[in-house]
């Protein structure tokens, strides 16, 4: 039995390293709209040459190449072996947790882990979590809950499915309330620009879809990313505005994702090339939390049930608050980057999967003063 357990844990670890290698592809390609299987082989982002199979061995390949492409010698980020090693260790932990209960429960555990790892790094890079991971993860969680009803402490498939559906709904509704409440309380960011700064907008090759906007010394960003929701709008209090060969003084520009309005006249962004001006104040839309987080928690609920949802939100809020407090001095100096909430949700879900009930039990005993 001990030999079987060791083989099981070893296989899970090796499998996790291989899955981590694939997750690196997902993390890089998915948010860019690229296929994760076309081209089928990994390639160097610098020279775009395929990586040789013997150089693509998880962790060891990166060490062998000393962190550089074999063809162009461009540096390869150490995050690649980090993701592979992290996934391997998490798969090991999931397998270790599942073995005493039912080794087959490691199957939904490692699938959820893969979703959470990919979501975490994509969210850190792009402040977004793709629907393929969230809605797709929720669908997979429902299916696996029917196949493995013991995932929710049940023996009949439809009971497992019912618990998964309840968890997904609870996760989506709970965080939706937080998002909507935050939108009401913190949905606008109003700033006075003193001295006034130049700003501009330029249409992209696809029209308004890939148009860019910039202000002051900031690098241009995508116009569509300014609007968390299609109905959101922004305002520029303009000292001067130049649009379609006409110049305005002391006007307000109101913008939506597909159009702008100046003094009651609407201009569709697909019909203009650019506009620019000098702003002395801005009023921008913002979200307290992204909708991707809502969908991710729904996926977590499908795997973990409503109790896992509550634990995940509590643990994520606790860890997120501690990190926020630690970064507060840097934020005051304007040095600290914005951190998405998705990674904290992922951490909370993994915590629940690996030691959630024990943590809750310890906390309840501690509140009652029991040893």
With CA atoms as reference, report the closest residue to 251 among 234, 263, 264.
263
Taking the chain, what is the end-to-end CA distance rounded to the nearest angstrom? Answer: 34
Q: Residue ranges per domain, the chain?
A: 1-86, 101-186+290-371, 188-285
**Distance between CA atoms of 91 and 9, rounded to whole angstroms?**
9
With CA atoms as reference, report the closest residue to 274 among 260, 287, 288, 286.
260
The residue with tokens 């493995």 is 148
- Assign 273 to helix, strand or coil: coil
| Residues sharing a CB contact under 8 Å with residue 247, sequence separation 6 or more, in sequence order | 240, 241
Residue 347 CB neighbour total at 10 angstroms? 17
Residue 128 has which token pair?
């977004």
Residue-wise pLDDT tens digits, 273-289: 999 999 999 988 876 66
Residue 325 has which token pair?
């407090």
Burial of 151 from C-beta contacts in 10 A (0-12 / 13-18 / 19+): buried
C-alpha dist (Å) from residue 200 to 45, 142, 203, 242, 270: 31, 47, 10, 9, 16
What's the pTM? 0.80
Rg (CA), the chain: 24
| Sequential pLDDT tens for the chain (371 residues) | 789 999 999 999 999 999 999 999 999 999 888 888 877 778 877 787 888 888 888 999 899 988 888 888 888 899 999 999 999 999 999 999 999 999 999 999 999 999 999 999 999 998 889 999 999 999 999 999 999 999 999 999 999 999 999 999 999 888 777 766 666 656 567 888 889 999 999 998 877 778 999 998 887 888 987 887 778 899 999 999 999 889 999 999 999 999 999 998 999 998 899 999 999 999 888 766 667 888 999 999 999 999 999 999 999 989 988 888 887 776 655 555 677 889 999 999 999 999 999 999 898 888 888 76
The residue with tokens 């391997």 is 88
The residue with tokens 């995940």 is 312
Residue 122 CB neighbour total at 10 angstroms? 23
Residue 349 has which token pair?
């879900």
Helix, strand, coil % in the chain, rounded to nearest 5 = 55, 20, 25
| Residues sharing a CB contact under 8 Å with residue 195, sequence separation 6 or more, in sequence order | none
Peptide linkage before 39 cis (omega within 30 of 0): yes
With CA atoms as reference, report the closest residue to 5 among 95, 133, 131.
95
**Distance between CA atoms of 234 and 221, rounded to whole angstroms?**
15
Q: What does DSSP say about strands 265-268 and 274-285: parallel, antiparallel, or unpaired?
A: unpaired
Residue-wise pLDDT tens digits, 216-262: 888 788 898 788 777 889 999 999 999 988 999 999 999 999 999 99
């Amino acid at each position: 039995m001990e030999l079987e357990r060791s083989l099981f844990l070893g296989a899970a670890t090796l499998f996790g390293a291989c899955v981590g290698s694939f997750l690196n592809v997902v993390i890089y390609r998915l948010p860019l709209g690229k296929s994760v299987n076309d081209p089928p082989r990994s390639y160097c982002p610098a020279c775009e040459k395929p990586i040789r199979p013997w150089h693509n061995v998880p962790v060891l390949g990166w060490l062998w190449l000393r962190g550089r492409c074999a063809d162009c010698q461009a540096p390869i980020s150490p995050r690649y072996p980090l993701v592979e090693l992290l996934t391997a260790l998490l798969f090991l932990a999931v397998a270790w947790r599942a073995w005493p209960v039912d080794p087959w429960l490691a199957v939904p555990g490692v699938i959820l882990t893969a979703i959470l790892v990919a979501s975490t790094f994509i969210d850190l890079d792009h402040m977004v979590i793709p629907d393929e991971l969230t809605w797709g993860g929720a669908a997979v969680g429902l299916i696996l809950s029917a196949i493995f009803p013991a995932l929710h402490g049940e023996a009949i498939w439809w009971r497992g499915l019912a618990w998964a559906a309840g968890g997904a709904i609870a996760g989506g509704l709970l965080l939706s309330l937080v998002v909507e409440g935050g939108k009401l309380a913190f949905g606008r960011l109003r700033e006075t620009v003193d001295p006034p700064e130049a700003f501009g907008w330029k249409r992209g090759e696809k029209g308004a879809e890939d148009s860019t906007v910039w202000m002051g010394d900031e690098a241009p960003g995508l116009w569509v990313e300014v609007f968390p929701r299609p109905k959101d709008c922004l305002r520029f209090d303009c000292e001067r505005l130049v649009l379609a060969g006409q110049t305005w003084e002391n006007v307000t520009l109101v913008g939506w994702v597909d159009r702008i309005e100046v003094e009651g006249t609407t201009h569709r962004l697909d019909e203009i090339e650019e506009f620019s001006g000098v702003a002395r104040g801005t009023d921008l839309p913002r979200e307290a939390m992204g909708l991707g987080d809502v969908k991710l928690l729904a996926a977590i609920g499908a795997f973990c049930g409503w109790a896992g949802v509550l634990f995940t939100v509590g643990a994520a809020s606790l860890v997120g608050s501690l990190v926020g407090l630690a970064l507060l001095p840097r934020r005051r100096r304007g040095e600290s980057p914005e951190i998405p909430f998705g990674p904290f949700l992922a951490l909370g879900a993994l915590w629940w999967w690996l030691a959630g009930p024990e943590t809750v039990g310890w906390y309840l005993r501690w509140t009652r003063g029991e040893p």
